Structure 1
């Protein structure tokens, strides 16, 4: 994912999560907020209770790969993907389908 498609700053995370528009599954919570610009941005949050830094970074790399496969960067939304513990109980393919369906249903 290119830099322009990422949400990185804590204030931006707080703004998007503060909008309180979200959808849950067992493995993910996706927060969404409308943008004024044309492209969408994604932020990934993996809390410390998921595991150590190695596990969290591996999870974030996998989710970035899933988001590239979904390829929804032309919609004017900001997304925050919050990972839950159930993520590790499913296979990569199941998680990918779950995330894809969740992002399609979470539109404003």
Structure 2
């Protein structure tokens, strides 16, 4: 995923945290903030030390990034969102990570409408 698709600055993270609502499932929390003037979505990842050691945290981040890359055509575009991994996320396989993210993205209304009906 290109750098232009990432929320990198702490101020941007805080803006999304402060101005948005969160939705969650057992393994992930997602914060969403609409950005009408933006060309595409941006995503920020946060995987804390409670998830595991550095190897596990990096693996979780790789799984999340790959899942988002695969879901890219179905995601709403002018949005900033943050994905925060919870403690159980390090036990998931790649396929389970993707399914969990699809579930939480549906709750956050981040997927396009036709993608919602096609995957059910």
TM-score between both structures, scaled by the size of structure 1: 0.89
Pairing 1:1-108 to 2, within 5 Å after superposition: 1-35=1-35, 36-71=37-72, 72=74, 75-107=77-109
Is the CA contact (8 Å cut-off) linking 2:63 and 2:97 kept in structure 1? no
Report the aligned-residue RMSD. 1.7
Q: How many residues were matched structurally?
A: 108
2 CA distance for matches of 1:85 and 1:105?
20
Distance 1:45 1:64, change over 3 A: same
Higher normalized helix content (fraction of residues): 2
| Structure 2 unmatched ranges of 5 or more | 111-120
Runs of 4+ in 1 over 4 A off after TM superposition: none
Is the CA contact (8 Å cut-off) linking 1:5 and 1:73 kept in structure 2? no
| Structure 1 unmatched ranges of 5 or more | none
Moved more, 23-32 or 90-99: 90-99
TM-score between both structures, scaled by the size of structure 2: 0.81
